[in-house]
Structure 1
Amino acid sequence: MSGILSMILAGGEGTRLAPLTSVRAKPAVPFGGNYRIIDFVLNNFVNSDLLQIFVLTQFKSHSLMKHMSRRWRVTGLTNRFIDPIPAQMQMGKHWYQGTADAIYQNIELVEGMDPEVVCVFGGDHIYKMDVRQMIEFHRSHDDARLTVAAIPVPVEQADQFGIIEIDANHKMIGFQEKPKSNPKTIPGRPGWVLASMGNYVFEADTLVSSLRADAERPDSIHDFGHNIIPELFEAGVVYVYDFSTNTIRGEAEHTSGYWRDVGTIDSLFEANMDLLAVTPPIDLYNRHWPLRSHHPAVPPAKFVHDEANRTGQAISSMISGGCIISGGSVHQSILGHNSHIHSYTTVEDSVLMGGNDIGRGCRIRRAILDKNVTIAPGTVIGEDLEQDRQRFHVSPGGVVVIPKGARVGFDD
């Protein structure tokens, strides 16, 4: 596995995740109590022992850079690194104009490393993947210049992805970028399409030459899906890796192929709720595939009071360190570090991202509370969505979102 450079695209603005992305880039959004979204792709590379990684940032990158500096530092070994690279406008006075342009503006990093293979992965999905297996698949095809990871998704979601057609040898023979109508379904599987995961393994010389040629085209939007992939697959040199075949030691069979694009509030909420199943589709507890992140110096979670109608308890939930459940009740919810639930309060089907303080006698249901939100005693959220819409963002699926640092109920 020598000669491999990895570049993670972590500059996404994430407008569909607003207001959670009003202060941070999409990959920096908290997830699962202890993590940020970007932790999953970084763990995939680290657990695959691929440790020459550039992380390309752009929009509202401070939170992401701070997180990486606290946890994702590799020191002492000169050939191993995880380096965040802010947008530097190397090719002119403009931000990255597309996913391909993001790599092109940092092409000197690729050429300076002189790799054989370059992995270009997105930084904003929830999944586990042994990246080595995809690279081995790529190298097993002598004529492969690019390999694209793919996964079946329902046809209703086709307009959100690049849709792929393949032949019997896994070679790409068709590609539609986010088709609005008539997407090509998988033969023998009506109602399903084969979607690109936005994860690519390139021969380094192919990547460099393709990006340089694309940069010269005035009609290009400089995007891998719109421009680079269509050109290469027509030359017959693009293969497709079936992500569902990827195996990880210690993983249960039912977790195979789990991948979530958490690009909307509802998909982020659902992915968090996935973690709470008795046998979740993604396992955070596999000791053979540790999920690293920054963990602050906090004490263990504490549950206090055991009286009638005032029992500190959490059921079917994940509670992070530093939390205090003080005579309140938590059901089917995730609490980030240092959250405090006061007496006679119920939190149900919700995600609290950390540093939250929920006063006495509150009822919180189907809500996402960003960091450091404080809720006044007696406040009710999630039971009357029309009323909630007057104060907060409510997703199409009925999830109420409270922005970072908000103080709710103190102005009544």
Structure 2
Amino acid sequence: MQIYSSSSTKLTNLHIIKSSSHHNQWRHNHNLKQLVVPSSCPNLSVSNSQQHPLNQSVAAIVLGGGSDAELYPLTKTRSKGAIPIAANYRLIDAVISNCINSDITKIYAITQFNSTSLNSHLSRAYTGFGLGKDRFVEVIAAYQSLEDQGWFQGTADAIRRCLWVFEEFPVTEFLVLPGHHLYRMDYKTLIEDHRRSRADITIVGLSSVSDHDSGFGSMEVDSTNLVTRFTINPDDKGQQDLISVESRTSRRSDGTSSQYVPSTGIYVIGREQMVKLLRECLVKAKDMASEIIPGAISQGMKVKAHMFDGYWEDVKSVGAYYRANMESIKRCILVVGGFNCRFYDRQCPLYTMPRCLPPSSMSEAVINDSIIGDGCILDRCVIRGSVVGMRTRISDEVIIEDSIIVGSDIYEMEEDVRRKGREKKTEIRIGIGAKTRIRRAIVDKNARIGQNVMIINRDNVEEGNREAEGYVIREGIIVILRNAVIPNDSTI
């Protein structure tokens, strides 16, 4: 599996920004309860500037993700973008790789919620390549200042408070990207479509997903892909009321067809339009999907849709995370357009942090339809239809089926086990003990599974909370918590 190709990668140093006093002129009220669009807002339609290569004219803004109850406990100690996926990667790697492969090399990652592991991953994965100051992945950590005492209040608030950073380079467009989606997209095509249509905002919509419930709203688009109506449901983005706005400039004839498509939350916004919206027209708005986009449409901005028909997964729940991992197992020949093909694409590789791990060691292991990460130690076990993450230790006579073993951060030596056993009254090693059986489960990092343990959801429970015992059940999937200890002879 190719992780890094020195001949095609264009990366450089990462910087972490924690505070600044240069943004005092863009203060705003964090107590906004509803969308407010000033009637005196100036004309927002701004003609596109002279076109330049993407690595000079486009900056990507990647959002690390906030708290999400549906992903708990996977987000108990990490943000959504930092969740491990497909044995060797993090979710945010898919989005960063899309940027790099599309020649977008000015990448800002805005982080706040449980950001320690995400900041560490980004700084270690995408730094030190020395290709100049205008090619970078730069982390902007949430900060407070004398003017803004609170943390970021939402996606729009975060972007507004970081505009002074984004203005360092004279780009013409911003590409706003959620950091927890799994897909492969050529952003060059998206940017070209945005420029060709002379749109103020372009939103990526899903054309091949019929049953997707997007938390980023839905769009009514006409035959020219002009967005004529944008709707956010009450359950989306914490809204209490339905938000639905119609473009005041749209004029459709009776014979013009239209369709509703879900939004992915991926936006291309002109630099001047972004500044006007956040600093002049919607200075109190907190969220991009529920406030900025409806506000722009209601003010007469030209908003277009760019249709995407490839594989796309919004990893917003434990079930979605489980399905995404299971899809990564399937062979390319069986899943046309599936994300698994991305792992083996020499032209558009998936990048992640380079690691100096030994090859996985397997002793009489029987493995079918599975992915095994780097540095694993597998004894006489059976693994079917599963994802086994880095540094996983699996003992004799273990059977793992349709499961995700996230892996561990360290190799635990025998002397460490004996010492910890005396301190914590347990001698269960990190990994999976002998004669254990695991079926349709997620075992998070550094978990200690004893011998002869049955993790099989014996009672077919759909939802259950046993955090005190080291596990929860979501959508019928058992999730063993990070650092949990499951005693010998336990049955779940």
State the TM bucket, normalised to the shorter chain.
0.7 to 0.9
1:210-264 per-residue CA deviation (whole Å, 9 max, x = no partner) reads 01135534xx4x21111111122231410110112xxxxxxxxxxxx10000010
1:82-138 per-residue CA deviation (whole Å, 9 max, x = no partner) reads 111101135511111111111001011122323211111111100111111100000
Tell me whether 55-64 or 145-154 shows the greater mean CA deviation.
145-154
Q: Quote the residue 1:304 is aligned against.
A: 363
Residue 363, structure 1, aligned to residue 422, structure 2: no
Q: Which amino acid aligns with 2:206?
A: I
Deviation at 1:71, TM superposition (A): 0.9
SS at match of 2:197: coil
Deviation at 1:288, TM superposition (A): 1.1
Among 362, 368, 372, the alignment partner of 2:446 is: 372
Residue 175, structure 1, aligned to residue 175, structure 2: no
Deviation at 1:50, TM superposition (A): 0.7
Larger radius of gyration: 2
Residue 6, structure 1, aligned to residue 60, structure 2: yes
Residue 233, structure 1, aligned to residue 297, structure 2: yes
Does the 8 Å CA contact 2:227/2:305 hold for their aligned counterparts? yes
Distance across 1 between alignment mates of 2:363 and 2:148:
58
Distance across 2 between alignment mates of 1:154 and 1:193:
11
Deviation at 1:359, TM superposition (A): 0.6
Matches within 5 A, 1:130-149: 130-142=186-198, 144-149=199-204
Residue 266, structure 1, aligned to residue 319, structure 2: yes
Q: Quote the residue 2:107 is aligned against.
A: 53
Among 270, 287, 293, the alignment partner of 1:223 is: 287
Tell me whether 206-215 or 33-42 shows the greater mean CA deviation.
206-215
Deviation at 1:75, TM superposition (A): 2.8
Distance across 2 between alignment mates of 1:410 and 1:377:
5
Deviation at 1:18, TM superposition (A): 1.1
Q: Which amino acid aligns with 1:334?
A: V
Does the 8 Å CA contact 2:81/2:118 hold for their aligned counterparts? yes
Q: Quote the residue 2:412 is aligned against.
A: none
Q: Quote the residue 2:383 is aligned against.
A: 330
Q: Which amino acid aligns with 1:77?
A: G
Please give the TM-score of this superposition, normalised by the length of structure 2: 0.74
Deviation at 1:303, TM superposition (A): 1.8
Please give the TM-score of this superposition, normalised by the length of structure 1: 0.87
Structure 2: 5+ residue runs without aligned partners?
1-52, 236-241, 246-258, 409-429
Deviation at 1:15, TM superposition (A): 2.8
Structure 1 237/289 Cα, relative in aligned 2: closer, same or farther at 3 Å? same
Distance across 2 between alignment mates of 1:318 and 1:335:
6
Does the 8 Å CA contact 2:385/2:402 hold for their aligned counterparts? yes
Tell me whether 73-82 or 27-36 shows the greater mean CA deviation.
73-82
Deviation at 1:77, TM superposition (A): 0.8
Aligned pairs, how many? Answer: 382
Residue 71, structure 1, aligned to residue 125, structure 2: yes
Q: Which amino acid aligns with 1:52?
A: K
Does the 8 Å CA contact 1:368/1:399 hold for their aligned counterparts? yes
1:168-207 per-residue CA deviation (whole Å, 9 max, x = no partner) reads 11110011013669999xxxxxxx9511111111110100
Residue 199, structure 1, aligned to residue 199, structure 2: no
Structure 1 77/303 Cα, relative in aligned 2: closer, same or farther at 3 Å? same
Distance across 1 between alignment mates of 2:385 and 2:276:
50
1:141-190 per-residue CA deviation (whole Å, 9 max, x = no partner) reads 12x11101110476654363310011111110011013669999xxxxxx
Structure 1 377/123 Cα, relative in aligned 2: closer, same or farther at 3 Å? same
Q: Quote the residue 2:474 is aligned against.
A: 395
Structure 1: 5+ residue runs without aligned partners?
185-191, 245-256, 306-311
Does the 8 Å CA contact 1:214/1:227 hold for their aligned counterparts? no
Give RMSD over aligned pairs. Answer: 2.3
